[in-house]
Chain A
Amino acid sequence: MPDEIPARVDRLELPFDARGVDEFGVSKWHLTAAFRALAFLYRSYFQVRCAGLEHIPPRGRAMLVGNHCGGIALDAAMVIASCFLELEPPRLAQGMAEKFINRIPFLSVWAARCGQLTGLPEHAQRLLESDRLLLVFPEGARGTAKLWKDRLSLVDFGTGFLRLALRTRSPIVPFGFLGGGDAVPTVTNLYKLGKLIGVPYLPVTPWVLPLPRPVPLSIQYGEPLRFEGTGTEDDETMQRYVDQVKGRIADLMQRGRP
């Protein structure tokens, strides 16, 4: 189906202008090129298995919240691909990119044109208030830095995402991602070398470079979670809610294991 990707881009329910650019700078041209590559990776290279897509609202604001797995952001790319390739109508999941990305030529432009804005609370709130689908990894960069032996674990979650969900009255759709740690099995991270070239760290694999190998990946989406509150609750309450989300993600990871 050679015209499938542009047709799906056309069916994204985003307010593109006549040049195919929306108010956040998301561009139909860039999306088409990026999703052609992602579709190959999603369907052929990794043969991603995806379940529970019916839990993602077809439109309106929602927050996809899941675990990091693998030394590079394969998880984000495959979740974005699943929402675009599997949902009807397709949706664009918009992640919060690491801040260093905006400083890197070309990568900065491609991330922004594909809707992946710098990870700032202001961006997350504005996207949700614009009824977008926000993708959040509460483990942050510590999550992608997990070593292979820790690939099935979860590091600490921040609470900012939950306060934002309450403030914007957004449902949280949890997901568990598996296989990233086997695709990019990190044996160590080079932090000093990473800093020298402007990234948080460089993951090292048994074949040195963090090039992913074609192993099956899986994504399990769970039922939406809704919490009562305004986002101004004390840390103890927030931590209780966060633990519920974390527990749900751990369940989904367990369910996705072969």
Chain B
Amino acid sequence: MKVLIPGIAGLLARKVAQRLLAEGHQVIGIDPRGWPGAPEQIELHPVDIRKRAAEEVFRRHRPEAVIHMATISALVVDAEERYRINLGSTRAVFEHCASYGVRQLVFVGRHTYYGAGPDAPLYHTEVEPPQELGTYPELADLVAADLYAANALWRLPELQTAVLRICYTLGPAGHGTLASFLKARFVPMVMGFDPLFHVMHEDDAADAIVKALSARARGVFNVAGPQPLPLSVIAHEAGRRVLPLPETLLARLVGRAGLPRLSHGALAHIKYSIVVDASLFRRETGFAHRFDELTTARSFADAFPPGGRSSPIPAPG
């Protein structure tokens, strides 16, 4: 199958591309960041998915399937630009899929879609609406992209669409929001709170994305691996020390004194749990995780020892 991956330079997307190659698929990538050392079988186009040149890639290659991984959650990009990237790129991908006869699309979204709050249920199912946007407006662009992708299920019925809401990933590549949060020696926590974090190994996450493609999944799916764990346990297994601080003090200190940068809204995510029920995805695709929660955290610790900065895979440029 000819598979196009917008956002291929991301660490998780690279793993997906390598798996697809190993399974004998033809892989084409779009990403302005480039991928130094990429396998030569992968045809890379260093262009922005929202630009005309990206449409030319669709027109010329006529991919049968697309895995959309060109969204970002890093708060280092300002809100306006993030909104343009996340919603603009998602819209462009769906429009090109509709115009150039793509048969299957996998949208890779995030489980933080559901939001974190004191009155939210512990396990979220796919039918639930997003919550807590009022307290965490920085999530709005990703939620909008998710909802836009999901409405393709009725808007573009001929396009086999799977919207994946993947939990936090962790592993030796150090990919993702949680990995960034855990890279410092001290992990800040809101004193008196210890939410459950749903974490899966980055290799399992890549497997799940490929599985969504091979099983021709259609619908909205939560994706998770092993059971969730308290943040303090994950930090401990990752070789970090937790630093519990009163919420008001923590809100003033994040981004300073060696603590990771967090928006005020993100504090809710280290105070209350976001856990997903991923049974539907397992049933529909037969996906089963290979790494348990403790192995996952320890694999991150081995690659990123406290105080160290080693990483076997270079960060995207």
Contacts and interface: CB of A to CB of B under 8 A. Distances in A.
Q: Point out which of B118, B123, B191, B294 has the most chain A C-beta atoms below 10 A from its C-beta.
A: B118
B122 interface: yes
B273 interface: yes
Given A108-B193, A109-B193, A109-B194, A18 B294 contact: yes
Interface residues of A, number: 26
B227 interface: yes
B192 A21 contact: no
Interface in A100-147: 102-109, 112-113, 117-118, 120, 122-123, 126
Given A17-B227, A23-B228, A108 B192 contact: yes
Contact of A19 (B121, B193, B233, B272): B233
Given A117-B122, A123-B121, A105 B193 contact: yes
A241 interface: no
B123 A102 contact: no
Contacts of A118: 118-119, 122
A24 interface: yes
B146 interface: no
A167 interface: no
A113 B196 CA distance: 10
Contact of B294 (A17, A99, A117): A17
B61 to A, nearest CB: 43
Contacts, number: 61
Contacts of A104: 192
Contact of A102 (B119, B228, B229, B237): B119
Contacts of B204: none
B228 to A, nearest CB: 7
B43 interface: no
Contact of B196 (A17, A25, A107, A126): A25
Nearest to B233: A19
A22 interface: yes
Nearest to A120: B121
A67 interface: no
A106 B192 contact: yes
Contacts of B121: 120, 122-123, 126
B192 A25 contact: no
A17 B292 contact: yes
Given A122-B121, A122-B123, A21 B233 contact: yes
Contacts of B228: 23, 25
A27 interface: yes
Interface string A14-37: 000111011111010000000000
**Interface of chain A, helix or strand or loop or mixed?**
mixed
Nearest to A99: B119
Contact of B192 (A19, A99, A109): A109
A86 to B, nearest CB: 28
Interface in A23-62: 23-25, 27
Given A17-B293, A23-B228, A103 B118 contact: yes
Given A109-B192, A123-B121, A25 B292 contact: no
Contacts of A18: 292, 294
A160 to B, nearest CB: 15
A35 B192 CA distance: 20
A21 B229 contact: yes
Interface in B115-138: 118-119, 121-123
B244 to A, nearest CB: 9
A110 B285 CA distance: 37
Contacts of A117: 122
B230 interface: yes
Contacts of A23: 227-228
A24 B123 CA distance: 9
Contacts of B237: 19
Nearest to A127: B122
A102 B118 contact: yes
Contacts of B293: 17
A251 B61 CA distance: 77
Contacts of A122: 121-123
Given A99-B118, A99-B119, A25 B230 contact: yes
Contacts of B193: 105, 108-109
Contacts of A107: 192
A25 B294 contact: no
A23 B276 CA distance: 11
B192 A120 contact: no
Contacts of B118: 99, 102-103, 108, 118
Contact of B122 (A99, A105, A123): A123
Interface in B205-254: 226-230, 233, 237
Nearest to B232: A109
19 contacts: A17-B227, A17-B293, A17-B294, A18-B294, A19-B233, A21-B233, A24-B122, A25-B273, A27-B230, A99-B118, A99-B119, A102-B119, A108-B193, A109-B193, A109-B194, A118-B122, A122-B121, A126-B121, A126-B123
Given A25-B228, A106-B192, 20 more contacts: A17-B227, A17-B294, A18-B292, A19-B229, A19-B237, A21-B229, A21-B230, A23-B227, A24-B122, A25-B273, A105-B190, A107-B192, A108-B192, A108-B193, A109-B193, A112-B196, A117-B122, A120-B121, A122-B122, A126-B123
